[in-house]
Structures are given as structure tokens and as C-alpha cells.
Amino acid sequence: MRRIPALIHTTLQKWESELFESNARVYTMLCVVGVLLYAKTFLFGYTYLDDHVLVLNNIPFLGDLGNIFKAFTQDVFFMTNGTTAYYRPLLTISFMPEAMLGKALPFFYHFTNVGIHLTAVCLLYLVFTKLKYSKRISLLLALIFLVHPALTQAVAWIPGRNDSLLAIFVLASFKYLLDFIEEGKREYIAWSVVFFSLALFTKETAIALPVLFVLYLWIRDRLSKTAMLEFGAGWLIAILVWLPLRIMATSSNPQALSIHDMFASFLTNVPGTLQLLGKAFFPFNLSVLPILQDTTFLWGYAAVALITAILLLHLLGKQTSRRSSLMMLFGFVWFLLFLWPSLIGSDSSGATDFIEHRLYLPLIGLLIILAESSFVRSLNEPAGEWFLQPWLVVLLIFFGMTFVHENVFADKLVFWQNAAFNSPHSSLAQKNLGAMYYLDQNYPLAETYSKKALAVNPQELMVHNNLGLIYAGEGRTKEAEQEYLQELSFNPQYDSAHFNLGLLYYGAGDYAAARKQWEMTLQINPNYTDAIWALLTLQAQRK
């Protein structure tokens, strides 16, 4: 029996030695594990949370490569009168190959999502090795990132790729910073700035990257005037190119938050930091649309206790170094700088959600803290194989949790059932579940959840319009008209409500009223194709 532990030890050493002979073998292993975990998402559909707007409604635009440059001059949702202002040109461009290849077929978009995630994981492994962590520790951290349940939404939800794209560009920029520190070549500064620029055009959160880089250069005692001038000039040029384009693309948003409102929104939502921290360490209460009111703080407190224990053990350790302590600080700053911008509400209405894909990039900071802890550094000891066993159990648990959690992204109905169940105080979740039931022609449940949304927020946008559609489908035209008019009383720029009201009048034979509503639709949105065709049809009939 005593020979068994020795045999396990020898086998693991041999397997590890063969695996780490080249990075290609490590990348292959990571990709195989990732495909096994996420392959079933290739058969998933659309959730109708942003993906229908970003992809389904814009296939003609996405299918034309000539629109690449237009993507840099407009809001990602193609809205001129929207309530949000999101500038994500590289997200839009990333959808174009799939649109040209498979039009609206969701398979291609999900396939690409998995590929982007695997690229980020492999790049993370490379960066960890360049940070001088052992290959064993780097692989462990990359595997945790690969299978982490809280990152499922970034992979299984099509729009979630924006955060994994951002991670790729941030990691690539960081990788070239590390190369510059090691070799001093000026070309690495240029490449680092290029990827910083790509990160900016992916998500404005990347604006925090120079702060992190300055902190890391200070930690490594490479904060020279020459380096700062060269990096600083590159960062400034990138920002001066990006900022005017972003302002131009989002300037038409009538409800963008002021600086004061943004700060107030952040202060209101900052407790979400604790909830997301809990999900990073204990991902047991996952939801597709979590809000502050319906998410427990329990696991956040547990995460704080765990981090406190990690820090105390680190500070009391006999081999604690200044650099190791500073790297823990670096990881903590990384986590906060990339997380906190997501706590700022995007508009002045509704409750802020804390969707879990926003943990994608911040989680890397927590992994850096773990890499410096005695919990992980013990893997470098001669008997490290035995310290590895608890981590293997964690990886298996995370793999299983992610494999199960993926299922809630399979289709629109399952997705919104999860949202409504886990976030009963989210009017958006109740509203959209009602909309999904309407699309399935289940009018009783559609009405029930639409009214639940109004019970939470009497002025939730689009709900009265949805009730109008439900009542029109049931032939309750008078009630439908009242709902459309109620929607327009506080949401007068909602083009679809005008169009639907026009359809109602047209069906009742009041062509003059129908024309008026459709003309108002086009005043608000000149590209509303259905309204154009409706007016042409009406004109032909009058002849």
C-alpha cells in the first residue's frame, strides 16, 4: 500500500514534465477542457437580452464589410433616441464575420464566443508565466479562470463576448509591457499601446489601464522618465483618437447621465462590489440578471473573511517579500479599477443590474492575489502534488457548476424564467418574461408578468406597449388602445408604440389616424422599415 502514493507522485511528475515541454501542449490541454465544457452552447439560441438588437435586428448592416468604419461612428445599439450610450465598435465588428457566414444562425456566434474565451485563457497563462509564476501555478490559475461559473455569462451569452474581447486586448497590452521590462525594446511599447487602443474601442473601462501600468512599473522599479514619456505619449494619442469618436457616436443620447448623476449612481451601487466579490470566490447564487435587492451579501462576507485570512497568513509568513506584498496590492487595484465602472448606471431609469460577465476582467486581479498567497505558492514545494489535490477538487466542482449553469442560456424563455425567478424586484426581468410568453402566444402568462413588472415599477418603459400587443392579439382593441396611449404618455419617443397604435387604427378602418401614427413613427426613427411599408401600402390603397 505504501507504494501507491509513490506511484501517484511519480506519475504526476512524468505527466507534468511532458505537458510543460512546450506552451503548445498547455494551450491544447486548455482548449480541450474548454471545448468539453462549452460545446453544448453551440446549439443554444438567442436570449433576447440585447442579442436580438445587436445581431438579429441588424443582419443587413453586419453582413456588409463596408460598414466597418460606420461602427466607429455610432452607438452599439444603433439608436438615435435611446436611453443608453454604449460605444462598442469592436463588438459590432466582431459580429460581422458570423453575419456574413451564417446570417442569423446562432451557432456561429456561440462558436466564436467559445473561441474568444479560450484565446483569453491561453493568453492569461502566458501572462502569468511572464509574471514569473511557475508553470504549475500559471496553469492552475488559467484553469480556474477557464471553468469559473461566474464567467459563464461571458461565454454562453452572445453579447458577453465584449468582456472577453476586452480581456484579450488588456492582457496583450500587459504582455508587451512585461516584454519591454525584460528586454527594453521600444517596439514593445508600440505594441502595448496598439492593444491599449483596441481595448478602448472595445469598452471604456480600459481607460484604467495606464494607472495599472504605472503601478506595475513602480513595483518593478522601472518607472523611469524615458519609459513614462514614451508610454504616456502613446496612451495620450490613443485617447485623443478614441474620445472624439466616442463623443460623436453617443452625443445623440438624450438621457445620458451627468457627472453628478454618475457619481450618485456609483455610491448607490457600490455595495454590489461585495456581492460580486462573493461570486468570485463562492459562485453559488448565480443569476442571469442579478440586482442588489435580490442578491445575498452572505457570500460576500465569506469572501472578505477568506481574503483577510490570506493576507494575514501572507504577512505572518517567514518568506514574505516586499514585491509579493506589492503584487497583492496590484491585484486588488486591478480588481477594483476594472469592476467599479460597471457599477455606474447607464441611464437615469430603472435598477442597475450586476450581470456576472462584468467579473471577467476583474477576476484576473483576484487570481494575482491568489498567486502570491501561501495557499497557491505551496504548490512550488517538493511535495506540491499533494497540495494540488484540494485545488483539483475545486476545479471539478467549478466545472460541474458551469456545465449546469450554461443551460439557462439555452433559449429566451429559460433565460428570462431564471431572471424573473432570481430577481423578483427587477421590473425588467418580469417585463421581458412577459414578452417571451407573448412571442410564444401564451397571452395569459404574458399579461401576468407584464402586470408584475408594473407592480414593481409603474413607469417601466415598454410594458404598456406590450400589454397593448397582448390585448390586440386577444381582440380587446379598446383596452389595447388605452395601453398604447398610456405608454406614449410618459414615453412619447417610443417609435414602436406609435407604430402599433397605427396598426390598431388601421384595423379599425381609421386610416387618417393610422397615417398620423406611422408618420410620427418615422419622425422619431426614419429607418423604421415596417412604418415605411405601412404608409406605402396605405397610399396604394387610397389610389
Per-residue pLDDT, 348: 45
Cα(223)–Cα(106) distance, integer angstroms:
47
Q: What is the C-alpha separation between 94 and 168, in angstroms, rounded? A: 13
The answer to whether the beta carbons of residues 360 and 335 sit under 8 Å apart is no
Instruction: Please tell me the predicted confidence (pLDDT) of residue 4.
Output: 46
pTM of the prediction?
0.92
Q: Residue 349: its pLDDT value, please? A: 47
Structure confidence at residue 255 (pLDDT)? 54
Q: What SS3 string covers 1-23?
A: CCHHHHHHHHHHHHHHHHHCCCH
Instruction: Output the CA–CA distances (angstroms, integers) from residue 300 to 264, 285, 296, 406, in the order listed.
Output: 23, 11, 8, 23
- Quote the CA–CA distance of 87 and 73 in Å, as a whole number: 9
- Residues 36-91: pLDDT tens digits? 999 999 999 999 999 999 999 899 999 999 999 999 998 888 754 445 568 999 99
| Residue 108: strand pairing partners | none
Residue 445 identity (one-letter amino acid): L
Q: Are 446 and 435 in contact (CB under 8 A)?
A: yes
Per-residue pLDDT of the chain (543 residues; tens, 9 = 90+): 445 455 555 656 667 777 888 889 999 999 999 999 999 999 999 999 999 999 998 999 999 999 999 999 988 887 544 455 689 999 999 999 999 999 999 999 999 999 999 999 999 999 999 999 999 999 999 999 999 999 999 999 999 999 999 999 999 999 999 999 999 899 999 999 999 999 999 999 999 999 999 999 999 988 888 889 999 999 999 999 999 999 988 876 555 566 777 788 888 889 999 999 999 999 999 999 999 999 999 999 999 999 999 999 888 876 678 889 999 999 999 999 999 988 887 554 445 788 999 999 999 999 999 999 988 888 877 666 667 888 999 999 999 999 999 999 999 999 999 999 999 999 999 999 999 999 999 999 999 999 999 999 999 999 999 999 999 999 999 999 999 999 999 999 999 999 999 999 999 999 999 999 999 999 998 888 899 999 998 888 766
State pLDDT tens for residues 407-418. Answer: 999 999 999 999
Q: Helix-strand-coil percent breakdown of the chain, rounded to 5?
A: 75, 0, 25
CA R_g for the chain: 26
Indicate the burial class of 243 (C-beta count within 10 angstroms; 0-12, 13-18, 19 or more).
middle
3-state secondary structure of 536: helix
Residue 41's alpha-carbon distances to 34, 36, 98, 107, 385, in angstroms, are 11, 10, 16, 8, 33
Give the tens place of pLDDT for each residue, 134-193: 999 999 999 999 999 999 999 999 999 999 999 999 999 999 999 999 998 999 999 999
What are the beta bridge partners of residue 291?
353
Using left for φ > 0, alpha for ψ between -120 and 50, and beta otherwise, residue 462 falls in left
Domains in the chain (CATH in brackets) are 3-409 (no CATH), 412-542 (1.25.40.10)
